[in-house]
Amino acid sequence: MKFQPDTLDGVNNITHYDVDTLRINADVHSTSMLVPWVGQARAWDARRVEELTQAHFDALLEYDPEVVIFGSGPKLKFVSPALYRGLIERRIGVETMDSGAACRTYTVLANEGRRVVAAILLAPGG
């Protein structure tokens, strides 16, 4: 017996991920993306962990999340905590995982009603 729906109305769901594409609701994207629990997902201008700056993580502050799920690409790669210090200072949790795991974790948290943002790196063709 199911006690709650698989998805909440109005919540963004990541319904597909591979190294080249990300499907958010019905829209397919081939660039790195920021996916808030509600509202418009948008392109994120980074392709690789090595390209990330503090400004990439500061852009997440406008969503006022309680947690950020960072997908580092097809393999788990950590970034320096100094890059997301602004999030930590505001008591916003940051979890890093490979992008596939990040997409699954984001979707579960978003459908629990959490204020979560996924920052997913995609590197099409590479």
pLDDT above 50 for 80: yes
Question: Which residue type sits at 96?
Answer: T
Tokens at 105, concatenated: 């974790």
Instruction: Write out pLDDT tens, residues 20-55.
Output: 999 999 999 999 999 999 999 999 998 899 999 999
Nearest CA to 95 out of 62, 123, 60 is that of 60
Tell me the three state secondary structure of residue 19.
coil
Domains within the chain, CATH numbers bracketed: 14-120 (3.40.1230.10)
Tokens at 90, concatenated: 């505001």
d(C-alpha 20, C-alpha 25), whole Å? 17
Q: What is the pLDDT of residue 1?
A: 36
Q: Which uninterrupted H or E stretch holds 97?
A: strand 93-97
Its pTM stands at: 0.90
